[in-house]
Structures are given as C-alpha cells and as structure tokens.
Amino acid sequence: MNTRKLITLIAVALFSAGISFADEHKEHGKSDVPATYPLKKCVVSDDPLGEHGKSVKMTYEGTDIYLCCKDCIKDFKKDPAKYVKMVKDAEAKKK
C-alpha cells in the first residue's frame, strides 16, 4: 500500500511540474517564431512576438509575416504591402 501511494505522489508531482513548465514557458513570452525571422516585435502593434501567446503567421506575396495576436490580422489586411516592406527592410539590415 505504501508503494502505491509513493508512486501516485511521484506521478502527481511529475504531472504538476509539466503543467507548471508549460505555463511558465507561455508567461515568459517565448515565441514560436523561427529564429531566422528578422523581427522580434509585431509589425502592426509593436508588441513583442510571443507576448500574447502563439504568434499568427500571415503570408503575403510569398513573404511570411508574424503578428503578435489574432487582433492584428484586421489591421494587417488593410495594408499588407506596408508590413511586408517592414519585414523585407529588416531582412536587408540583417545581411
């Protein structure tokens, strides 16, 4: 009986640690944006990518643009060429 309780406690502790790690990862603004992407901030809101959860990937004329959240999609669609230019300018600066 004691062995069963010990195994249960260990399982609960490991499960809880996994959930805690996942929450911590999200809370600290870890971004899902590729390391090769030239910007660290959203081109629409200027908020750090990953700050609002999973980033939103948009593609316009073959260029990938990452937005900080779904709320930025509407503004992006108003003038996508403007935001593509910002990404391309940032890529050119990196080279």
Write down the pTM of the prediction. Answer: 0.67
Higher pLDDT, 92 or 21: 92
Using pLDDT thresholds of 50, 70 and 90, give the confidence band for residue 91: very high
Alpha helices in 1-95 (DSSP H): 2-27, 73-78, 80-94
Contact assessment for residue 59 and residue 4, using Cβ atoms and an 8 Å cutoff: no
Residue pLDDT, tens place only, 46-66: 999 988 889 999 999 999 999
Higher pLDDT, 1 or 59: 59
